[in-house]
């Protein structure tokens, strides 16, 4: 992937996730940015994070570290709310310093546009974080994981459970409703929602139904009392 002028980080050995499996399977972590504010007379691209987004974004970084999903490459929308999400996540990664590519093409991208970007990821990058926007990120996850989905129980889905560490959502197919991670990704993809997809082949060959959705979670920060 060509590095634009906004790229930062060196992608050194120290920045690579030490917890990566020895297999050839790569991981794509697809994240919707934290909740933004809507100040008047501010262009959509430059909207900042709101109070909840400022609280939740660091929780996403902690979730990645605690769940052994620290990226070695970050592809981030150039929109301010996405950049600010990453800026608050990064200090929570336990000292890892991944390469960061700020990619204008992620802003307002369709699933097809995002897939084209993913296919350009260098093959040596094995855990990649993509920070973007709804509906593009949700559509990308459903396309890669197969939108046929997993059968759910009548009346699913219910409210997402609150997991340890303040994360809402399903991990490993768990969660109320019994519908599995794909049901959750299809039904709700709120701010700070993240989907972890296992990619068994080459990035360049990735296409619809080409990945397995292993985790869907929504890390949340705790309100101060």
The predicted pLDDT at position 186 comes to 79
The predicted pLDDT at position 222 comes to 81
Q: Is residue 42 part of a domain?
A: yes
Band the pLDDT of 149: cuts 50, 70, 90: very low
Q: Is residue 104 part of a domain?
A: yes
Contacts of range 151-159, beta carbons closer than 8 Å, 24 or more positions apart: 151/179, 152/177, 152/178, 152/179, 152/180, 152/183, 153/177, 153/178, 153/179, 156/183, 157/183, 157/184, 157/187, 157/188
Q: How many CA atoms lie within 13 A of 158 on its CB side?
A: 9
pLDDT digits (tens, 9 = 90+) for 26-76: 999 999 999 999 999 999 999 999 999 999 999 999 999 999 999 999 999
Cis before 135 (ω within 30) = yes
Does pTM top 0.85 for this prediction?
no
Here the tokens at position 111 are 């699933």
Furthest-apart CA pair in the chain: how many Å?
A: 50
Which CATH number belongs to the domain containing residue 88 in this structure? 3.40.50.1240
**Is residue 16's pLDDT more than 60?**
no
Q: Is residue 215 part of a domain?
A: yes
Worst-scoring range by mean pLDDT, 14-18, 124-128, 131-135, 201-205? Answer: 14-18
Please give the share of the chain, as a percent, with pLDDT higher than 70. Answer: 72
Q: Is residue 18 part of a domain?
A: no
Domain region containing 165: 23-219
Q: Structurally, how many domains does the chain consist of?
A: 1
Q: Is residue 3 part of a domain?
A: no
223 vs 52: which has the higher pLDDT: 52
pLDDT digits (tens, 9 = 90+) for 107-130: 999 999 999 999 999 999 999 999
Q: Is residue 13 part of a domain?
A: no
Name the average pLDDT for the chain. Answer: 80
Q: Is residue 180 part of a domain?
A: yes
**Is residue 136's pLDDT more than 70?**
yes
Q: Is residue 7 part of a domain?
A: no
């Amino acid at each position: 992937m060509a590095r634009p002028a906004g790229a930062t980080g060196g992608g050194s050995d120290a920045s690579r996730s030490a917890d990566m499996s020895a297999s050839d399977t790569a991981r794509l972590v697809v994240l919707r940015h934290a909740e933004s504010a809507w100040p008047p007379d501010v262009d959509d691209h430059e909207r900042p994070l709101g109070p909840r987004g400022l609280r939740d974004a660091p929780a996403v970084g902690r979730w990645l570290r605690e769940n052994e999903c620290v990226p070695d490459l970050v592809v981030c929308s150039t929109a301010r709310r996405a950049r600010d999400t990453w800026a608050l996540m990064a200090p929570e990664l336990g000292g890892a310093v991944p390469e960061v590519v700020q990619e204008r093409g992620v802003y307002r991208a369709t699933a097809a546009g995002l897939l084209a970007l993913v296919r350009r990821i260098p093959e040596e990058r094995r855990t990649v974080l993509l920070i973007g926007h709804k509906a593009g990120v949700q559509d990308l996850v459903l396309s890669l994981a197969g939108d046929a989905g997993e059968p759910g129980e009548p009346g699913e889905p219910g409210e997402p459970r609150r997991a340890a560490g303040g994360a809402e959502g399903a991990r490993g197919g768990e969660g109320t409703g019994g519908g599995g991670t794909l049901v959750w990704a299809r039904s709700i993809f709120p701010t700070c929602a993240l989907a972890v997809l296992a990619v068994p082949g080459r990035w360049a060959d990735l296409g619809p139904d080409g990945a397995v959705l292993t985790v869907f979670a929504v890390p949340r920060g705790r309100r101060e009392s």
